């Protein structure tokens, strides 16, 4: 049992929790809770499991299959609360490999529906967006530089498992991807406060790219220069904008609705 | 200038930040930042302003009108960081009266579109829902017991000002309100994983109630007994549910879309 906070594995887990740089260097990240760890196992990403002493003694909640198939370590409750990022911990945590996707596969996906993020900064928003994109049946989420780190513990949690299933990629320049999508014959719509068309008047039935911008400033002028049309979500009352995850959801689900209806 | 943490006003502000009970007892709450305080002033809710010494010295960002029309106190920077709930404070904070709405006015609103929340627990979700409801042109947000406290600092922030404009009410039993809406001739739809109809096949054009349930458990069985139809949002991939604020947004904006289109 690991019962010291100076244990090297403990130190590594804390670095993976707190440092994006260390996550990138190792291509690993931390996921917590039985559900997320089971998802990590299903997707082939799970590397190792850490379980708190009291949870291990109860045991009944932990699938036997996980303990048989993956290396695990027991951790004293005190040390576990130290390595967990959550306030009310489930007492089980896993190290997982970061999923890797290929841009060609993403661009060739038969659904032809891509969500592009230009500088979305809030970790919770990013996780919720990935979760919603999976639900709405998007091909992938493509993130420009400046977008929050998907492997931040808060982001991982708010994906509710989508991080192990939904294709994504960080692009060094999303305008390259936008050009690629347009060259393949699809429109790329950018959400804006002042749109040239309402979001529900855009046609998503044959496939499309949808760009969501930064929480405070929207899509950058540079990226706006590459899109097909600005789309706007009508807003009543005195609000100036919608939350970025909400705006993404409204447009992605309108696209899904049109594609179900065929018009 | 207030420079002691034991000052009675400082103690009161901290109680208003931290204790729902004290907020309810006094019918007051705290709002932070110039934008939110300006909204509070516009809506007639603002009571008093507290400004950090260094912000007051810079001054240019604070509208003169606010300082002329409302009582204010200067607070030392150290004490201000103590009373602020935000990590990067704007150095200005206000005490505001809780807006009060009348259930008859809410039920008689000419838009006839009501959002009902059955036990939504996450403060951030609740704030985002109020903000989205304003944007989507809903009549009001009606909250059942168990719903998070709208005057929680995190919720207030995530409304982005909607808290000062969007009508809302806490109902001791939302089934009473559901019955009322139905007796007035409107359908009340409840979101569910297994719906009897897809959310976009429900008709919102004449007006409707929309019920959103708890993040983990959805709408309670008791409340489900009162609705007209269960509606579901189709989900692809492996996700089990959508975030509550996302689900609310998707349905409210589908209603708004139908009402613009007239069908």
List, for residues A109-141, the tens digit of each pLDDT value: 999 999 999 999 999 999 999 999 999 999 999
The alpha carbon torsion through B35, B39, B40, B45 (nearest 10 deg) reads 180
> pLDDT class for B263, splitting at 50, 70, 90?
low
> pLDDT class for B89, splitting at 50, 70, 90?
confident
Q: Residue A32 above 80 pLDDT?
A: yes
Nearest Cα of chain A lies from the Cα of B70 at a distance, in angstroms, of: 23
pLDDT for A262 equals 77
Q: What is the pLDDT of residues B24-47, one digit of tens each?
A: 999 999 999 999 999 999 999 999
Number of Cβ within 10 Å of residue B6's Cβ equals: 7
> pLDDT class for A88, splitting at 50, 70, 90?
confident
Q: Residue A60 above 90 pLDDT?
A: no
Nearest Cα of chain B lies from the Cα of A46 at a distance, in angstroms, of: 17
Q: With an 8 Å Cβ cutoff, is A103 touching chain B?
A: no
What's the rounded mean pLDDT across residues A63-68?
A: 92
Q: Residue A176 above 80 pLDDT?
A: yes
Return the percentage of chain B with pLDDT > 70, whole number.
Answer: 99
What's the rounded mean pLDDT across residues B176-183?
A: 98
Q: Residue B88 above 90 pLDDT?
A: no
Buried b (16+ CB within 10 A) or exposed e, A206-222: ebbbbbbbbbeebbbee
Here the ipTM equals: 0.95
Give the pair of three-digit tokens for residue B196: 């009897």
Q: How do strand A229-232 and strand A197-198 relate by DSSP bridges?
A: parallel
Closest residue of chain B to A253, computed from CA coordinates: B250
Residue A103 and residue A129 in contact, taking contact as beta carbons nearer than 8 Å: no
What's the rounded mean pLDDT across residues A238-259?
A: 97
> pLDDT class for A210, splitting at 50, 70, 90?
very high
Q: Chain B neighbours among A 137-166 (CB < 8 Å)?
A: 137, 158, 160-162, 165-166
C-alpha separations of B133 from A163, A240, B115, B130, B156 in Å: 29, 13, 8, 5, 15
What's the rounded mean pLDDT across residues B73-85?
A: 96
pLDDT for A87 equals 84
d(CA B12, CA B149): 18
Number of Cβ within 10 Å of residue B183's Cβ equals: 9
Q: Chain A neighbours among B 11-40 (CB < 8 Å)?
A: 39
Return the percentage of chain B with pLDDT > 90, whole number.
Answer: 92
Residue in this structure with the two tokens 């790219």, named with its chain if needed? A209
CB proximity list for A148: less than 8 A, separation 6 or greater: A120, A121, A122, A123, A125, A126, A155
User: Closest partner residue to A237 among B158, B165, B236, by Cβ?
Assistant: B165
Q: Tally C-beta pairs within 8 A across A and B.
A: 111
d(CA B223, CA B118): 8
Nearest Cα of chain B lies from the Cα of A250 at a distance, in angstroms, of: 5
Nearest Cα of chain A lies from the Cα of B238 at a distance, in angstroms, of: 7
> pLDDT class for A12, splitting at 50, 70, 90?
very high
CB proximity list for B110: less than 8 A, separation 6 or greater: none
Question: HSE-up of B80 (CA within 13 Å, CB side)?
Answer: 23
B235/A39 CB distance under 8 A: no
Residue A63 and residue A37 in contact, taking contact as beta carbons nearer than 8 Å: no
B253/A256 CB distance under 8 A: no
What's the rounded mean pLDDT across residues B41-55?
A: 96
pLDDT for B58 equals 82
């Amino acid at each position: 049992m690991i019962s010291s906070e100076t244990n090297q594995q403990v130190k590594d887990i804390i670095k993976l929790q707190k440092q994006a740089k260390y996550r990138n260097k190792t291509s690993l990240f931390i996921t917590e809770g039985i559900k997320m760890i089971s998802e990590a196992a299903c997707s082939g990403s799970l590397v190792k499991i850490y379980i708190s002493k009291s949870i291990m003694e109860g045991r009944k909640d932990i699938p036997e299959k996980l303990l048989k198939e993956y290396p695990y370590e027991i951790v004293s409750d005190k040390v576990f609360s130290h390595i967990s990022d959550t306030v009310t911990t489930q007492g089980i945590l896993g190290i997982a490999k970061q999923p890797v996707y290929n841009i060609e596969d993403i661009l060739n996906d038969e659904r032809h529906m891509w969500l592009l993020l230009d500088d979305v900064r809030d970790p919770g928003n990013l996780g919720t967006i990935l979760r919603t994109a999976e639900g709405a049946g998007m091909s992938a989420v493509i993130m420009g530089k400046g977008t929050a780190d998907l492997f931040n513990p808060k982001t991982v949690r708010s994906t509710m498992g989508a991080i192990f299933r939904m294709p994504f990629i960080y692009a060094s320049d999303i305008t390259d991807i936008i050009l690629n999508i347009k060259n393949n014959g699809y429109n790329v719509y950018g959400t804006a406060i002042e749109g040239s068309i309402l979001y529900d008047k855009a046609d998503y039935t044959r496939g499309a790219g949808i760009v969501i911008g930064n929480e405070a400033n929207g899509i950058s002028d540079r990226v706006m220069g590459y899109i097909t049309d600005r789309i706007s979500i009508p807003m009543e009352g005195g609000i100036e904008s919608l939350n970025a995850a909400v705006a993404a959801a409204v447009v992605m689900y309108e696209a899904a609705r049109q594609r179900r209806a065929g018009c």
